[in-house]
């Protein structure tokens, strides 16, 4: 059965967030909560909880909705007046209080209205499925499972599924397929055990890290520096993460695990009083949602000082800069160098991670069938770069087992097996394999429609490669252009590989996909290179880089084969311009796209001005005449607007109406490849378009608009310089008139001249330098 | 040729609602005006066959208020095909200009009855229109020609030393009077309820009965970081339409119409565009002189509040008594749908003369680009 209508019961943070994400995926969803006590008879007020949740989400940052209009798909209601509407729902997600009785009572009510074949799932994070289905009819047990989303549901990829003995396999398959393809979630099938997979290990890790820090006298700052980046864990580390999720959650999770974990579980040994935590919670230091937590921002005297709490005294002091040999060593030597280091950081890292990783190794197959499931859960539920078993391979399964043995500690059997063979993962005949619980190896299987470049890379050498980019044959005649610089910025070496693609693809291939598996598609041009050249006055080098980029982007656009770009994460500046030059874009829903050049004091010069103008001019929704496309492009580029999802990118015109959106990151490459192949038959490169630009009359109009912005304090001195230059380019220059066409080439020339003029100004150089140093735009 | 008397024989308008967020965002301006014209015809009792011309003022006559929108409104309102239609643009003074043209025609014996309307959907047609294309040479040589309205308000406030506090007092007072008039049902007679997709809009939407000096004091300047003009002391972007029936006095008498007021004199005048808000001063002085009156003779004043600063500076210059001005609130509270304002304040001044039983009234307003327009009315 297709899921055409969903419902979420419980409009708390999780329930509302799940509803929003269903709406993001285009699914109409009913969001119900109780009638608030004391609500008067008016129908509006009776649904105040759901309505309020939607209103709050429309203002929240990070936004639960991918675009404002998605909110129209969420219908607010209440459990009294709207309960019968659940009869029309294919999937009903329950996200109410973590109280088995409350949930079961609700399920009993549900049984009276819901239709046959509909699926009910609970978003519980602490209650076992067995308990939830107690005393409920057979039909319910067959249609029920646990769907455990992570907070915030839009952004966290993990979706844990727990099926009961009676759950229909088709119901599980249906929700898994829907979660995977439509909601874009990484599905992990879990056993019905406490904390399921991610939180079972994650909570152990948090508890262990806190206890070890307290007992070893490790500061909050040191703990987070050690248990963060060096291990591929988000920089919030442990205490920063607790601040993020809320300190008050910890005692609840602890109590729940203590009550439900088997008596011999290693977690019990880690439990002990944590008076500081209780004190912080009591004083309102519940984390970022409260006054602060282990960290706080001290705004006394108008300042903004980040402070950290002293775990011994409970006093706050300005957060200390971490200086640990182990952390420095990890910069080059990775996790292995970290735990091998003898300083307090290294010893702390080993103490915590050895316990956590051994714990994880002891839990398969108790909590999940295989180790890839566990790794996936931690990667997508806690944003770890490597799951526990991947980390064990990084540290060396043999070395870890040996060190545990040397220390007189137990080595879990699975770790022992890994130590005796080739580790938890190996590559055999170009295939990634994992260690099974019986000690053999099995292929890591990808679902149909999943294609990973990392898998392709195991199978052979690239078609071409240099330090900045590579070309890979991804099968069926499609070549993948992968940029692999820092933040995947564009530089002359990337252009060389692009030029190579122009050579290679027509000889025996059909299409090109631009894609990489980094966090970000591309943060734009390599500013460092430009700054370096500017510092030595090598202006021709910079101009060459601009010209080369224009040449190769234009050549890609005019190439005799289709080019499909597949962004995920940031696609800014020069990264955005690649999208604009492509025949089609297959965008990951979480794509953040914009022409942000103005932020560093320049204008888009790899065709961005030209392409956006052409897009806006062709948009039938805009009024006719020479100014609307120009004014719109001026606003989008001048304000360096960034679309915060693929949907917003469509609204801003960075994506065309026909460009497609993929929700599951792992499906992006396959979808892009499919899109490219669709374009192959009868492919004709787009012909250059003429634009009819207003020239000086239009520039004068923009100049007045700009003057007003300046007066209002919305445009700085250098904004005026940059925007005036941008206005010149977008209106077609001094000779343009809307009765005569302006060619694409003429606009490219203006882009280049404008870029060169701006890059030599002190204001622009200051912006570039500031961006390189701080990662933030300078408002000069 | 004999001088013929001209009277205002009827006045009606749509509710005025916020552009972009109000209830009439989705109402086409031509349709809005047609509904107002139909309403006026019914209320005044004039025989449409006798109407010479439909003169429609509009500040940005393009898009849905483009083409010769007056002719189209005539069709929409089902006026007899023989009634002509013309669109006139004097920016904010457009529909007062429509009245002046009617008056001139009547005195030329070129017609007996005229429908003078004004429209602006600031939701559906942006200020400056869809394709602002300035003369680059003029923009360079004489930038004041294209100066933004907010900047002119700041210039007026500075040059005439109109403090922010005074501006805010006027704004609060404007809302208070408008809210009182609305509460007392005094605006009902002039409003024609708009029909829009099965819904009815029958009340003004911009009035904030609960505003206060404290609330306004917290606002940031809207146009200049160091300025004194805020969103609250500027008239809001508004959607609305208005219309008055202008006839010869003889015609009105002969056909049993009920004139609200007689037009005594009219005037327009130019002023420096960078202080366009001062336009009413010269225009009013001219009109008073033509009427043989002085400011002291005025009993009722409709002084358009494009900006509080500008209205106060004009009142100061002219020596107007603010007690007599904008009795039912001004544009700060009611809104200012550019092309529709002139007919509103002229019709309102006429209606107030009758309601209050007074002798002389002035309706005047400032105009972007540096102009003023004024009409003196007397009891009919």
Is the Cβ of A717 closer than 8 Å to some Cβ of chain B? no
3-state secondary structure A123-144: CCCCCCHHHHCCCCCHHHHHCE
Structure tokens at B137: 């040479």
Do B146 and A694 count as a contact with CB atoms less than 8 A apart?
no
Alpha-carbon span B261 to B244, nearest angstrom:
11
pLDDT for the residue numbered A303: 81
Backbone angles phi, psi at B77, to 5 degrees: -85, 0
| pLDDT tens figures, A1-27 | 689 999 999 999 999 999 999 999 999
The partner residue sitting opposite A625, judged by closest CB among B131, B225, B227, is: B131
Residue A445 neighbours by CB under 8 Å, 6+ apart: none
* Burial track B333-357 (b if 16+ CB lie within 10 A, e otherwise): bbbbbbbbbbbbbbbbbbbbbbeee
The partner residue sitting opposite B139, judged by closest CB among A626, A700, A712, is: A700
Structure tokens at A639: 């304000």
Alpha-carbon span A118 to A7, nearest angstrom:
11
Is the Cβ of A621 closer than 8 Å to some Cβ of chain B? no
Do B136 and A697 count as a contact with CB atoms less than 8 A apart?
yes
CA B148 to chain A, closest CA, distance in angstroms equals 7
Do B134 and A704 count as a contact with CB atoms less than 8 A apart?
yes
pLDDT for the residue numbered A301: 79
Structure tokens at B123: 């939701």
How many of the other CB atoms lie within 10 Å of CB of A290? Answer: 17
Alpha-carbon span A4 to A115, nearest angstrom:
13
Ranges in chain B, pLDDT < 50: 1
pLDDT for the residue numbered A290: 87
| pLDDT tens figures, A388-446 | 999 999 999 999 999 999 999 999 999 999 999 999 999 999 999 999 999 999 999 99
Nearest residue in B to A625, CA atom: B131
Chain A 696-715, residues with CB within 8 Å of chain B CB atoms: 696-701, 703-704, 707-708, 711-713
Alpha-carbon span B305 to B171, nearest angstrom:
9
pLDDT for the residue numbered A621: 87
Would you call B336 a catalytic residue per the annotation?
yes
Residue B269 neighbours by CB under 8 Å, 6+ apart: B279, B282, B283, B286, B371, B372
Selected catalytic residue, list B58, B175, B271, B336: B336
Alpha-carbon span B130 to A372, nearest angstrom:
57
Q: Place A300 in a pLDDT band, splitting at 50, 70 and 90.
A: confident
Chain B residues whose CB is inside 8 A of the A734 CB are none
Nearest residue in A to B62, CA atom: A623
Chain B residues whose CB is inside 8 A of the A626 CB are 131, 133
Chain A residues whose CB is inside 8 A of the B134 CB are 697, 700-701, 704
Chain A residues whose CB is inside 8 A of the B154 CB are 711
Q: Is the dihedral of CA A94, A99, A102, A105 positive or negative?
A: positive
| pLDDT tens figures, A696-723 | 999 999 999 999 999 999 999 999 999 9
Percentage of chain A modeled with pLDDT above 90:
94
The partner residue sitting opposite A696, judged by closest CB among B128, B136, B150, is: B136
Q: Is the ipTM of this complex over 0.85?
A: yes
CB-based contact B121:B32 (threshold 8 Å): yes
End-to-end CA distance of chain B: 22
Read off the pTM: 0.92
Is the Cβ of A627 closer than 8 Å to some Cβ of chain B? yes
Would you call B255 a catalytic residue per the annotation?
no
Chain A 71-130, residues with CB within 8 Å of chain B CB atoms: none
Nearest residue in B to A622, CA atom: B130
pLDDT for the residue numbered B197: 87
Cα–chain center distance at B261 = 17
CA B113 to chain A, closest CA, distance in angstroms equals 37
- The 3-state DSSP composition of chain B as helix, strand, coil percent (nearest 5) reads 40, 25, 35
What is the average per-residue pLDDT within A339-365? 97
Helices (H), A407-470: 413-420, 453-458
Do A713 and B225 count as a contact with CB atoms less than 8 A apart?
yes
The partner residue sitting opposite A697, judged by closest CB among B133, B151, B225, is: B133
The partner residue sitting opposite B134, judged by closest CB among A626, A628, A701, is: A701
CB-based contact B343:B90 (threshold 8 Å): no
Would you call B366 a catalytic residue per the annotation?
yes
Q: Place A192 in a pLDDT band, splitting at 50, 70 and 90.
A: very high
The partner residue sitting opposite B131, judged by closest CB among A626, A696, A699, is: A626
Do B151 and A704 count as a contact with CB atoms less than 8 A apart?
no
Do A697 and B134 count as a contact with CB atoms less than 8 A apart?
yes
Percentage of chain A modeled with pLDDT above 70:
99
3-state secondary structure A10-28: CCCHHHHHHHHHHHHCCCC
Closest of B240, B337, B261 to residue B13, by C-alpha: B240
Helical pair A627-638 and A696-711, crossing angle rounded to 10 deg: 40
CB-based contact A497:A468 (threshold 8 Å): yes
Selected catalytic residue, list B92, B206, B271, B314: B92
């Amino acid at each position: 059965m297709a899921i055409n209508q969903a419902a979420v019961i419980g409009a708390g943070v999780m329930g509302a967030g799940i509803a929003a994400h269903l709406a993001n995926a285009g699914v109409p969803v009913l969001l119900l909560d109780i009638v608030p006590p004391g609500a008067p008879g008016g129908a509006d007020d009776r649904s105040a909880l759901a309505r309020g949740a939607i209103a709050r989400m429309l203002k929240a940052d990070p936004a639960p909705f991918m675009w404002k209009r998605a909110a129209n798909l969420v219908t607010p209601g209440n459990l009294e007046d709207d309960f019968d509407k659940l009869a029309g729902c294919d999937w009903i997600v329950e996200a109410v209080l973590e109280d088995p009785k409350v949930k079961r009572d609700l399920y009993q009510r549900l049984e009276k209205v819901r239709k046959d074949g509909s699926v009910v799932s609970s978003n519980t994070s602490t209650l076992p499925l067995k308990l939830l289905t107690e005393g409920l009819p057979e039909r319910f047990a067959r249609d029920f499972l646990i769907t455990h989303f992570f907070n915030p549901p839009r952004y966290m990829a993990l979706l844990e599924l727990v099926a009961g003995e009676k759950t229909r396999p088709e119901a599980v398959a249906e929700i898994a397929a829907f979660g995977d393809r439509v909601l874009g979630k990484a599905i992990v099938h879990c056993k019905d055990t406490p904390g399921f997979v991610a939180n079972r290990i994650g909570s152990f890790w948090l508890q262990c890290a806190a206890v070890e820090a307290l007992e070893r006298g490790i500061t909050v700052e040191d703990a987070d520096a050690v248990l963060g980046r060096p291990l591929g864990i988000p920089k919030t580390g442990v205490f920063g993460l607790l601040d993020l999720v809320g300190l008050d959650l910890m005692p609840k999770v602890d109590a729940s695990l203590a009550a439900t974990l088997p008596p011999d579980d290693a977690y019990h040994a880690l439990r002990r009083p944590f008076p500081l935590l209780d004190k912080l919670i009591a004083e309102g230091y519940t984390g970022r949602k409260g006054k602060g937590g282990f960290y706080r921002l001290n705004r006394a005297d108008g300042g903004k000082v980040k402070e950290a709490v002293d775990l011994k005294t409970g006093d706050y002091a300005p957060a200390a800069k971490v200086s640990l040999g182990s952390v420095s060593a990890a910069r080059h030597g990775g996790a292995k160098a970290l735990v091998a280091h003898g300083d307090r950081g290294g010893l702390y890292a080993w103490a915590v991670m050895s316990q956590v990783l051994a714990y994880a190794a002891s839990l398969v197959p108790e909590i999940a069938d295989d180790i890839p499931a566990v790794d996936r859960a931690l990667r997508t539920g806690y944003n770890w770069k490597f799951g526990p078993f991947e980390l064990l391979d990084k540290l060396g399964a043999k070395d870890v087992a040996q060190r545990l043995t040397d220390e007189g500690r137990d080595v879990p059997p699975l770790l022992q097996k890994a130590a005796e063979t080739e580790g938890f993962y190996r590559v055999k005949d170009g295939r990634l394999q994992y260690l099974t619980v019986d000690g053999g190896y099995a292929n890591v299987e990808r679902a149909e429609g999943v294609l990973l470049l990392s898998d392709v890379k195991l199978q052979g050498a690239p078609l071409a490669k240099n330090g900045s980019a590579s070309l890979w044959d991804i099968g069926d005649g499609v070549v993948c252009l992968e940029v692999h610089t820092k933040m995947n910025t564009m530089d002359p070496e990337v252009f060389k590989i692009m030029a190579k693609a122009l050579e290679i693809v027509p000889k025996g291939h059909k299409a090109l996909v631009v894609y990489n598996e980094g966090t970000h598609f591309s943060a734009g041009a390599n500013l460092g290179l430009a700054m370096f050249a500017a510092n030595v006055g090598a202006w021709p080098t910079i101009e060459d880089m601009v010209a080369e980029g224009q040449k190769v982007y234009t050549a890609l656009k005019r190439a005799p084969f289709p080019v499909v770009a597949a962004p995920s994460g940031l696609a800014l500046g020069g990264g955005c311009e690649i999208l604009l030059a492509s025949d089609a874009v297959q965008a990951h829903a979480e794509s953040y796209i914009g022409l942000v050049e103005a932020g560093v004091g320049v204008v888009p010069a790899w065709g961005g001005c030209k392409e956006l103008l052409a897009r806006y001019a062709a948009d039938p929704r805009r009024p006719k005449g020479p100014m609307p496309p120009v004014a719109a492009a001026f606003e989008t580029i001048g304000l360096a607007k960034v679309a915060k999802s693929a949907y917003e990118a469509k609204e801003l015109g960075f994506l065309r109406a026909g460009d497609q959106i993929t929700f599951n990151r792992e499906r992006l490459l396959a979808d892009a490849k499919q899109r490219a192949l669709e374009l192959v038959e009868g492919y004709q490169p787009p012909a250059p378009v003429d634009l009819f630009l207003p020239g000086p009359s239009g520039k004068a109009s923009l100049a007045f608009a700009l003057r007003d912005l300046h007066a209002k304090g919305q445009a700085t001195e250098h904004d005026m310089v940059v925007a005036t230059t941008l206005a010149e380019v977008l209106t077609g220059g001094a000779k343009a008139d809307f009765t005569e066409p302006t060619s694409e080439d003429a606009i490219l020339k203006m882009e280049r001249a404008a870029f060169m003029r701006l890059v030599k100004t002190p204001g622009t150089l200051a912006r570039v330098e500031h961006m390189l140093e701080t990662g933030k735009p300078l408002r000069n | 040729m004999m001088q013929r008397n001209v009277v205002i024989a009827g006045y009606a308008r749509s509710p005025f609602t916020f552009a972009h967020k109000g209830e009439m965002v989705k109402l086409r301006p031509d349709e809005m005006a047609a509904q107002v014209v139909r309403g006026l015809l019914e209320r005044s009792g004039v025989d449409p066959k006798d109407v010479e011309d439909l003169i429609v003022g509009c500040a940005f006559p393009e898009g849905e208020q483009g083409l010769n929108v007056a002719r189209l409104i005539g069709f929409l309102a089902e006026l007899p095909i023989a009634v002509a239609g013309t669109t006139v643009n004097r920016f904010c003074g457009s529909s007062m200009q429509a009245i002046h043209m009617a008056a001139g025609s009547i005195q030329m014996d070129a017609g007996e009855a005229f429908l003078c309307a004004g429209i602006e959907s600031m939701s559906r047609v942006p200020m400056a229109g869809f394709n602002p294309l300035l003369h680059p040479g003029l923009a360079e040589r004489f930038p004041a020609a294209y100066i933004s309205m907010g900047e002119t308000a700041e210039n007026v406030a500075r040059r005439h030393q109109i403090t922010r506090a005074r501006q805010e007092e006027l704004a609060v007072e404007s809302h208070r009077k408008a809210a009182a008039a609305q509460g007392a049902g005094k605006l009902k007679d002039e409003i024609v309820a708009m029909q829009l997709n099965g819904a009815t809009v029958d009340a003004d939407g911009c009035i904030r009965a609960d505003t206060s000096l404290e609330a306004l004091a917290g606002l940031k300047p809207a146009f200049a970081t160091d300025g004194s003009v805020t969103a609250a002391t500027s008239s809001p972007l508004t959607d609305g339409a208005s219309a008055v029936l202008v006839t010869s006095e003889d015609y009105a008498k002969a056909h049993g119409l009920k004139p609200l007021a007689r037009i005594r004199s009219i005037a327009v005048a130019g002023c420096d565009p960078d202080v366009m808000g001062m336009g009413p001063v010269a225009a009013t002085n001219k009109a008073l002189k033509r009427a043989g009156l002085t400011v002291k003779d005025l009993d009722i004043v409709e002084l358009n509040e494009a900006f509080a600063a500008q209205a106060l500076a004009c009142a100061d210059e002219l020596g107007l008594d603010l007690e007599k001005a904008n009795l039912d609130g001004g544009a700060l509270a009611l809104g200012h749908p550019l092309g529709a304002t002139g007919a509103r304040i002229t019709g309102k001044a006429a209606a107030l003369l009758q309601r209050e039983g007074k002798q002389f009234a002035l309706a005047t307003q400032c105009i972007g680009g540096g102009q003023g327009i004024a009409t003196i009315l007397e009891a009919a």
